Every structure is written in C-alpha cells, then in structure tokens.
Amino acid sequence: MDSPPQSLTVEKIHVWRGDRHVLKGVSLALGPGELLQVAGPNGTGKTTLLRVACGLLRPEQGRVAWCGHPIAGIRPQFQSALVYAAHEPALKGDLTALENLRYLVGLKRSIRTTELEAALERTGVAACAHLPVRVLSAGQRRRVALARVLAMQSPLWMLDEPFTNLDAAGSALVTDLLREHVSAAGMALVVAHHEIALSARLRRLELPG
C-alpha cells in the first residue's frame, strides 16, 4: 500500500511576544529530499519559527501539520521523526561527549555505543568522545551537537544556525551532511545567514524585517 510521503506543513503562523507581532502569517512546506533555508535579519523570528515548527511553541493562530495531521494530536510520532538542534548545543559540561549523546539520543531510540562513536567520528570529534564537554572549544561542541543530530537518524532535521563557531572545514562538513541527508530523502529546515552551497533542492524563505 502506498502511503503519502512524510511532509511538514506550516500554515499562516502568527506569534505575538507581548506587544510584538513576531511572526505574521508565515507558511512553509517541506517534503522528502528538500532543504529549506530560513533567512532574514536579526529579530525577525527565525528561531521562533523553528520553535513553532517543532512544537515547542504554540502559535496564537495557524497550524503545524506533520503528514497532514496537526502535530498536537500526534506529538510522540512527530517528535520521534524530528531532531532539533537549537542555538545552544544542549550539552552538559560535566558529562563526556559520548555520555551527552547517549543520554539524549537514548531517550528516542535504543542505540549502541559504536553507533555513537561512528557519529562522532563522522563529525570529526572522535578524539573528544571521552573528554568532559567542559574542556571542548565552541566549535567542537557544535560538532558534538551535530553528531547528536546524525545519531538520532530522524527524517526531519531542524537546525538553528548550524554554521556558527565552525571553521571552513566545519562549514563544509555541515554542507556535506545536509547534502547526504537530503539526497537520502530526508528533510531539513535550516536557519542560516550563511549561503548553503547546495544548488539542488534548496529553497529559501526570507523573513521580512
């Protein structure tokens, strides 16, 4: 039986923050193999849009749907298909990189240490696996957070500024990972100022100032 492909739709989202009308009727749609870059000046609600799309923030108006169902009703299924990497890397300084991954990824799927090590290897921080995150540089932390995104193996990625704190090699790595993910029919919603060097299947959503 053929089922409709996985898709994320955000329809006419309105969000107020106190008196500020942050998001004014933003809509977007994302299907398999697509990458949507959200861009725009600071303070235009890019992070807010991402938080709405992943269900952390309930919009005053509008709806977010996953495979055609409003996410409020299918929260567990939606969340297990989703990985969100916020601006903060969500790592505990007192735990090692590996422990950090194990505890957060482990909530979503049962995972073996070797898989986690492979993910750290892929993002180039395998050497730091057993170091407390406290001693890592900002760029290395970003890479550990990327390893978490990889290890979750979710079809839908939502990344908030994945290029910050990364050197040229790191940025190239993010682009590579995004390309691989998208060509494997994954979906990605990325907030970035940075031009993403992906010609195929990249769309941009510019939020007005």
Partner 1 sequence: MWTWFYRLASPPYVYRTAAALTPWLMTVAVIAIVCGLIGGLGFAPPDYQQGDAFRIIYVHVPSAYMSLFCYSAMAVAGAIGLIWRIKMSYALAAATAPVGASFTALALVTGSLWGRPMWGTYWAWDPRLTSELILLFLYAGVMSLRPAFEDPARGDRAAALLSIVGFVNVPIIHYSVQWWNSLHQGATIAKIGKPSMPGSMLWPLLTMLLGFMCFYGAVVCMRLRGEVLNRERQSAWVREAIKS
Partner 2 sequence: MNALAEGPEVSALRAMTLIVRRELRLSFRRPEQVLQPLVFFLIVTTLFPLGLSLQLSLLRDMAPGVLWVAALLSSLLSLDSLFKSDADDGTLDQLALSGQSLTAIVVAKTAAHWLVSGAALVLVSPLVGIALGIPVSVFPTMLGSLALGTLSLSWLGAIGAGLTVGLKRGNVLVSLVVLPLAMPLLIFGAGATDRAAAGISSAGALYLLGSLCVFTCTLAPFAAAAALRITLE
* Interface residue with partner 1, options 17, 69, 134, 193 (CB under 8 A): 17
Residue 109 touching partner 2 (CB under 8 A) = yes
Taking the complex as a whole, the smallest distance from the CB of residue 69 to partner 2 amounts, in Å, to: 7
Residue 192's nearest CA partner among 52, 21, 47, 64 is: 47
**Choices 34-42, 104-112, 161-169, 181-189 (CB under 8 A): range interacting with partner 2:** 104-112
DSSP 39: E
Residue 106 touching partner 2 (CB under 8 A) = yes
82, burial (CB in 10 Å: exposed 0-12, middle 13-18, buried 19+): buried
What's the CA gap between 185 and 7, in Å, rounded? Answer: 11
x-marked contacts with partner 2 along 1-20 as a string, rule CB under 8 A: --xxxxx-------------
3-state DSSP call for residue 15?
Answer: strand
Residue 130 touching partner 2 (CB under 8 A) = no
* Interface residue with partner 2, options 28, 39, 95, 131 (CB under 8 A): 95
| Residue 207 phi, psi dihedral angles, 5° rounding | -85, 130
What's the CA gap between 97 and 179, in Å, rounded? Answer: 25
* Alpha helix segments (H runs only) across 55-197: 75-80, 97-105, 113-122, 138-152, 168-183
**Choices 21-29, 87-95, 176-184, 201-209 (CB under 8 A): range interacting with partner 2:** 87-95
Residue 84 touching partner 2 (CB under 8 A) = yes
DSSP 167: -
Taking the complex as a whole, the smallest distance from the CB of residue 38 to partner 2 amounts, in Å, to: 18
Residue 43 touching partner 1 (CB under 8 A) = no
Residue 146's nearest CA partner among 128, 137, 159, 134 is: 159
Binding partner at 140 among partner 1, partner 2, none, C-beta below 5 to 8 Å by kind = none
Residue 76 touching partner 1 (CB under 8 A) = no
Residue recorded with tokens 């996410």: 71
**Which residues of the chain form contacts with partner 1 (CB under 8 A)?**
16-19, 21
**Which residues of the chain form contacts with partner 2 (CB under 8 A)?**
3-7, 54-58, 66-67, 69, 74-77, 79-82, 84, 86-92, 94-95, 99, 103-104, 106-110, 132, 155
